[in-house]
Amino acid sequence: MVATLFIDGTWRQASDGGAHDVHSPHDQRVVATVSQATNTDVLDAVAAARASFDSGVFTSWTFKERSALVAKIADLLERDADLVARKESDDTGKRFIEAQYDIADVIATFRHFANLGAKERERSVDVGLAHVTSRIVHEPLGVASLIGPWNYPLLQIAWKVAPALVAGCSFIVKPSELTPQSAVALMKIIEEAGTPKGVANLILGPGSVVGTPLINDPRVDLVSFTGGLTTGQTIMTAAAKTIKKLALELGGKNPHIIFADADLDAAIDNAVTAAFLHSGQVCSAGTRLLVERSIHDRVVNEIVRRAGQIRLGGPDDVMAETGPLISAAHLRNVTEYVEKGIAEGATLLVGGKRSEALEHENGWYFLPTVLDNCVTTMNCVQEESFGPVMTVEVFDTEAQAIALGNDTVFGLSGGVWSSDSEKAARVAGALRHGTIWVNDFGPYRPQAEWGGYKQSGIGRELGEHGLGEYLEIKHIWTNNSPSRSGWFSDPAQGESQ
Task: Please list the active-site residues.
Answer: 249, 283
Residues contacting 388, CB < 8 A, separation 6+: 275, 276, 279, 280, 322, 334, 351, 366, 367, 368, 369
Give the Å distances, CA to CA, from 448 to 45, 153, 159, 249, 466: 32, 20, 12, 15, 9
Which secondary structure element, helix H or strand E, spans residue 330, and what is its range?
helix 328-344
Q: DSSP letters along 350-413, please?
A: E--SB---GGGTTS--B--EEEES--TTSHHHHS---SSEEEEEEESSHHHHHHHHH-SS--SE
Q: Give the whole-angstrom CA distance, residue 256 versus residue 26.
A: 29
Residues contacting 34, CB < 8 A, separation 6+: 2, 4, 19, 20, 22, 180, 181, 184, 204
b/e sequence 112-122, b meaning 16+ C-beta within 10 Å: bbbebbbeebe
Residues contacting 43, CB < 8 A, separation 6+: 213, 217
